[in-house]
Amino acid sequence: MPQQNAFGPLSHLKAEPSSLVLWVIPGADGEGTLYEDQGDSEAYKDGEFATTLFTQTQSSEGVTLTIYPRQGSYIGMPQERAWQVVFFSIEEPTDVNVDGEAASNWTYDEASQRLTVNVSTRPCSETIVINFKDKETGIKEIKNEKLKMNNEAFDLSGRQMINGKWSGIYIQNGKKIIIPYKP
């Protein structure tokens, strides 16, 4: 997966979530896979697990995120779920669609440049396509500067960073920040 693009489904061990949050940092075309299993056994060794593929593409038509039907099975897996998809570092969209229809359940936070699209509960066997158009998409510039600790910052996996000594690439206020390693 290209570094400009990051996906991050958020859940925890032994959860059988009826809803998931997926964080997406749009960039170059990319993909990611959600892996699920029972969480408390080794049944996955016998093929009892499921995967869900995500792809994100960017074109003149905007950004498209596709959540493909789940493949595989395991005991206790949910048959349906709702999704909350959060897109980071984007301009306010002019148009948001879910499965080709105008979406009504979305919000945009200008201060954090986040688009949140809520997809109602549906079978995990269905494909979900989210598309939005904006003036610009993705990271606007790369700066080699200090991370401002009074603002939220995220790594490229979408994890919010908490106080600490960091080096690497981070997202803050819609910009990619590179912090050189200093021993």
Q: What percentage of the chain exceeds 70 in pLDDT? A: 64
Give, as one character, the DSSP assignment of residue 75: T
* Residue of 163 and 122 predicted with greater confidence: 122
pLDDT score, position 4? 47
Q: Please give the Cα distance from 123 to 69 (Å, whole number).
A: 9
Residue-wise pLDDT for 49-66, tens only, equals 999 999 999 887 889 999
Bridge partners of 7?
24
Residue-wise pLDDT for 170-181, tens only, equals 676 666 666 665
| pLDDT (average), residues 96-113 | 93
Contact 31, 96 (CB under 8 A): no
Distance of CA 144 to the CA centre of its chain: 25
DSSP string, 13-65: TT---SEEEEEEE--SSEEEEEEEE-SSSSGGGGT-EEEEEEEEEEETTEEEE
What structural domains and CATH numbers belong to the chain?
A: 6-134 (2.60.40.1180), 142-179 (no CATH)
**pTM, 2 dp:** 0.68
